[in-house]
Amino acid sequence: MSPVDDPVPPIGPATSYAEQLVQTESLQALREVIDAGGKVRRVVARRAGLGESELVTLQHLILGARGPAEVARLLEVSTAASTGIVDRLVSHGHVERRPHPDDRRRTDVHVTESGREEVLGLLMPMFEELARLDAEFDDAERAVVARYLRRTLEAFDAVITPQPPPSEA
């Protein structure tokens, strides 16, 4: 049988469901935002001379110091991999290791002022534009947008969090 004569493979339930989805303007816009978010991360990392894991680490550290094991958990990498990421950030002058204030056996990783300024400076045009956009909405409109985005996060969690297999009755 030649490839042209091959029968069409059967369509599974996931493909069948996806083909029936109605792509509304809001769903299409959401897909574009998700794609653009990934691109922003890649562009900012490249402009800063960092890898994406390093940038993500800096974004977490801007929110507060973390221990190396916590960095590994946040990035979903091994502690050895997170050590390498932190080492590279230290060599850039973006983070520093400091003794933990309550446990001398541990260290915390802190973002430096230059690390904070580099990341926030690269993201500033986006932050400014988002602030202008947000100012165009009244409180009721912001509540609708916030509800949509929070429910979107719940939908993402359906993929991120392992689901139990369906029980057989």
Confidence of residue 81 (pLDDT cuts 50, 70, 90): very high
> For residue 107, what are the contacts with CB-CB under 8 A and spacing of at least 6?
67, 68, 97, 98, 99, 100
Would you call 167 helix, strand, or coil by DSSP? coil
pLDDT at 168: 55
Residue 11 has pLDDT above 70, yes or no: yes
Percent of the chain beyond pLDDT 70?
A: 92
23-70: pLDDT as tens digits: 899 999 999 999 999 999 999 999 999 999 999 999 999 999 999 899
Nearest to 57 by CA among 124, 140, 15, 118: 118
Cβ(44)–Cβ(123) below 8 Å: yes
Q: In the predicted model, what is the mean pLDDT of residues 97-117?
A: 90
pLDDT score for 16: 79
83 class by beta-carbon count within 10 Å (0-12 exposed, 13-18 middle, 19+ buried): middle
pTM for this structure?
0.77
Confidence band of 74 (pLDDT split at 50, 70, 90): very high
The residues spanned by each domain of the chain are 25-119
25-119: CATH architecture: Orthogonal Bundle (1.10)
Mean pLDDT of 121-130: 95
According to the model, what pLDDT value does residue 3 have? 57
d(CA 92, CA 47) in angstroms, rounded, equals 13
